Amino acid sequence: MILICDHRGTGLLKALRPLRGAGFKLEATGNLRETRERIRNESHELLVIDPLVSGGTVEIEELARLCSEESATPILLVSDPREPDKVLESANSLDSACWDVIRRDAGIDEFAMRMRRLVGQASQITELVDLRYRASHDDLTDLLRPLYFQARLEEHYSAAERHGLDLSLVLIDLDNFGKVNKQFDHTVGDRVLAFAARVIRDSLRTEDVAGRIGGDEFAIALPFSGPLEAAATVHRLYKTISALSGTIAGSDQELLVTASVGFETIGGDSVSSVQELRRHAESALRRAKKAGGNRGVYYRSKS
């Protein structure tokens, strides 16, 4: 659906109505308030905006912001033939990667060409973004793949080292997961992994980063988190994961799900490298496993 935002009331929808015969689905709004509501509540292939004021910088920036919050909707800006350059100033401030400008007195064929091109570009951008996301994220858990997680961890480590900030690395390993696949089929095992990943995702703040680094192994980087903050996150994680235990749907068999968690923190130069940070977290994880699992262990703790 293409939304014609005719804020000047110049009859833009009427002028573009012949495009319906060329396969375009058109709807229109007559003022900024109505356009805001439609953008918030509906998705559109394209916005054609004829701003109320020639140029309409504030108006266009607000609509572009609303579009970017929902999706990367392409925008075709309509310029006043008497002041064709004014709308370009607004266009240059758009964050959208997909926009164009057209004069209000342009022919119907030119409108059709520009609209088709913008819709096609937006589709290609969406496909490219999806491909990049799928390349960096694990299909089953929707967490970062190992190499991408490591790259993000190194970025956070460099920032923490440079500015003397706290950073915590948390490693999670599901206890006795091999037995799950032996006792049940792999469908159950995949469900356990997916549920555990959801627990991890739900625990993240905006700045946190999580990845699946092995079959049943996960990792979380917690920027700006010292020992107390990391310990609270770790406690919440293994307790919530253990709550996944229960009867398998369609059977009377009980499934026990627990996790061992190891973590290490740095503040300033307390760890010499990101490799050492990871070795410390792995050592803490091994201690948690050796102690029976279903617990978290801090590398610097004595127990």
Say which CATH number the domain at 168 has: 3.30.70.270
Query: At which of 95, 116, 136 does a domain end?
Result: 136
In a domain, 77, yes or no: yes
Tell me the pLDDT tens digit for each residue of 103-152. Answer: 888 999 999 999 999 989 888 888 887 888 899 999 999 999 999 999 99
**Which residue bears the tokens 């903050």?**
229
In a domain, 130, yes or no: yes
Domain span holding position 25: 2-136
Asked if residue 105 and residue 48 are part of one domain, the reply reads yes
Does residue 96 have a pLDDT over 70?
no
The β-bridge partners of 137 are 144
In a domain, 88, yes or no: yes
Stretch among 83-97, 113-127, 199-213, 215-229 having the lowest mean pLDDT: 83-97
Asked if residue 84 and residue 198 are part of one domain, the reply reads no
Mean pLDDT for the chain? Answer: 87
Query: At which of 112, 136, 160 does a domain end?
Result: 136
Winning range, highest mean pLDDT, from 11-25, 27-41, 159-173, 259-273: 159-173
In a domain, 141, yes or no: no
Asked if residue 174 and residue 120 are part of one domain, the reply reads no
Stretch among 69-73, 129-133, 181-185 having the lowest mean pLDDT: 69-73
Does residue 70 have a pLDDT over 80?
no
Asked if residue 194 and residue 89 are part of one domain, the reply reads no
Question: What integer pLDDT is reported at residue 183 of this predicted model?
Answer: 81
Instruction: Tell me the percentage of the chain whose pLDDT exceeds 70.
Output: 90
Asked if residue 34 and residue 102 are part of one domain, the reply reads yes
Query: Domain tally for the chain?
Result: 2
Does residue 69 have a pLDDT over 60?
no
Dihedral in degrees, nearest 10, Cα atoms 237, 221, 194, 186: -100
Helices assigned H by DSSP within 53-212:
57-70, 86-91, 108-136, 146-163, 177-183, 186-203
Asked if residue 160 and residue 80 are part of one domain, the reply reads no
Question: What integer pLDDT is reported at residue 152 of this predicted model?
Answer: 96
Asked if residue 112 and residue 226 are part of one domain, the reply reads no
* CATH number of the structural domain spanning residue 34: 3.40.50.2300
Our measurement of the distance from residue 54's CA atom to the centroid of its chain's CA atoms, rounded to an integer in Å, reads 36
